[in-house]
Chains A and B, each alone.
Chain A
Amino acid sequence: MNLSRRAFLVFYRNLVSYKRFVVPTLVGSLVQPVFYLVTFGIGMGAYMGAFGGKPYLFFLVPGVLISSVMMSSTFECLYGAFVKMIHEKLYDSLIATPVSAEDAVAGDILWGAFRGLISGGLMMSVAFFMGVFPVSIPAGLLLCVLMILIGVMFGSLAMIVTSYAPNFDFFNYYTELVMTPMLFFSGVFFPLDRFPSWMKTLSQFLPLTHAVEISRAVYSGVYPKSLVLNLAFVLALTFIALRVGVGRMKKRLIK
């Protein structure tokens, strides 16, 4: 892979253009997760009693936070990248400079991760107001690192989808058939223990499951041994998806 520091220049380009969209995108990425927190957390939480000695919100926040990272980075690398590739021809102008196709795509994945971090960070602040904090300040910082990692993972996965997409409608397959089910089978809203075993097995193949497990551990400061497996899964998938996503997009950009 012909990757260089120029990926960060592509990130910088996105940052410059982002200032025009800050407000609408912040509102956009805030509304849905807050909606989850209020309806599930406060509304349903009232009936749920305590989870491991803490209110339901403490269970819910780490999961919703990581899913909002997933949503933001995915959408940026689906629709955002597609618009840049097909409609604005932005990649064409980037790769005519010393920026390589790999730099351009990696820079955009990084950008997707950053958008995820912003969404997750917003969630964290909203959770503050609801009285849900990470266990310590270092844990909070660690969460930010985790959000970037998870953002890169889902951004790269989305890039793979984008590299095959003939048009916008194609993305519906991914968002409706993969993302939405994943949201409900990854233990974001309720624990997986009571699922039938085949469903538990299935959930172990969903990247969001592992991301949520790690997020929950960092939030609570309780690190079970199985966390190593979660982390290994996330790191391995991130590495593979990044390579495949960048490679596939390169093939599409450089013909």
Chain B
Amino acid sequence: MKTIIKAENLTKRFGDLTAVDGISFEIYEGECFGFLGPNGAGKTTTVRMIHCVSPITSGSILVNGLKADVDNRKIKAMTGVIPQEITLDNDLTVFENMMVFTKFFDIPRREARRRTDELIAFVELEAKRNNKISELSTGMKRRLLVARALLNKPALIIADEPTTGLDPQARHLIWQRLRLLKNQGSTLILTTQYMEEAQQLCDRLVVMYEGKILKEGSPRRLIDDEIGREVVEIRIDAAEDARLISALGPFSCGHERAGDTLFFYCRDGREIQKKLVELDLPNTVHRPATLEDVFLKLTGRSLIE
């Protein structure tokens, strides 16, 4: 696999605050690579350094052999950014938004028209072609952001929390489009707080917390390594912990208490389930392990502010 991005000892400081703390990672061509983490973990800052809108404090990033912070214009020319915030031009229509953007990438007029029409269709906004941005719903705006990011036929697509604030329909449409792009050979970088999104889209991901990378791997492997296959949640008073742990511990590969719930992680839940029936506990949930469990285990279940 060809490496398209290589970051070494990447560090970003804002005054006293270290937002990204000496991380290293590699992203391969054609994969979808995810940055997961709670607010303030350093995901967006990392991604901003990759596409050259944030100067690097120390360390280095190579994008397709080009050095970030040096070959900025070249890197930006081959990158499409779907931003976290809606940065559309409110004064312009859907069509004008796209056309003005093609100028910045030096796309000739005829080609610009062709691509604009094609991409407006790609995100299903034909009916809104001549509407102003203020007349669009949030979902439509986000779709337009996707279309706009593709105008320069980017080899690298960066999606920074692309579905924040969307309803399920709009979210699924964006996921489908992103998967389609990946299947067409683009490399995709995704930052997200939605575990479902990461599980849907990412081939590999890193979990970030306080500027560091805690774990790296495919979603499946991370779940396997950190949690197992299944999770049993028992809502019960903490006073019962000792009794339950001694009863269920032998069948699980880990347990954790968070608030009103005791979690058991296991590879095969059947034994635990039998035990649960014996113990006759009313409030239990037995479910497959998800990336969310990994995330919460790694970054802690308490509120992060």
Interface residues of A (CB under 8 A from B): 2, 4, 6, 9, 12-13, 16-17, 20-21, 88-90, 92-100, 254-255
Contact = CB atoms under 8 A, between A and B. Distances in A.
B83 A92 contact: yes
B29 interface: no
A133 to B, nearest CB: 36
B146 to A, nearest CB: 13
B151 to A, nearest CB: 9
A99 B89 contact: no
A21 B91 CA distance: 9
B54 A16 contact: no
Determine chain A's interface SS by DSSP, over half rule: loop
Given A92-B83, A92-B85, A255 B14 contact: yes
Contact of B76 (A9, A21, A97): A97
Contacts of A95: 53
B101 A97 contact: yes
Given A16-B92, A98-B105, A92 B100 contact: no
A255 B106 CA distance: 26
Q: Across chains A and B, which 9 residue pairs bring their CB atoms closest together, nearest first?
A: A17-B91, A93-B87, A97-B104, A89-B87, A96-B81, A98-B73, A98-B77, A9-B103, A13-B100
Contacts of A13: 89, 100, 103
A96 B76 contact: yes
B11 to A, nearest CB: 15
Interface string B27-69: 0000000000000000000000001011100000000000000
Nearest to B78: A98
B87 A99 contact: no
5 contacts: A17-B89, A89-B83, A92-B83, A96-B79, A100-B73
Contacts of B100: 12-13, 16
Chain B interface: which size bin?
Answer: 20 to 34
Interface in B79-101: 79, 81, 83, 85-92, 96, 100-101
A254 B87 contact: no
B87 A90 contact: yes
A17 B92 contact: yes
B193 interface: no
Contacts of A254: 53-55
B50 to A, nearest CB: 11
Nearest to A84: B89
Nearest to B88: A93
Nearest to A20: B91
B72 interface: yes
Nearest to A95: B53
A21 B77 CA distance: 31
Contacts of A16: 92, 96, 100
A10 to B, nearest CB: 8
A96 to B, nearest CB: 4
Contacts of B76: 96-98
B80 to A, nearest CB: 9
B89 A90 contact: yes
A255 B20 CA distance: 13
Contact of A9 (B72, B77, B104): B104
Interface in B179-212: none
Given A17-B92, A94-B104, 6 more contacts: A16-B100, A88-B87, A92-B85, A96-B53, A96-B76, A255-B14
Contact of A99 (B85, B96, B104, B152): B104
B232 to A, nearest CB: 45
Contacts of A6: 104
A253 to B, nearest CB: 8
Contacts of A96: 51, 53, 76, 79, 81, 83
Contact of A12 (B55, B90, B91, B103): B103
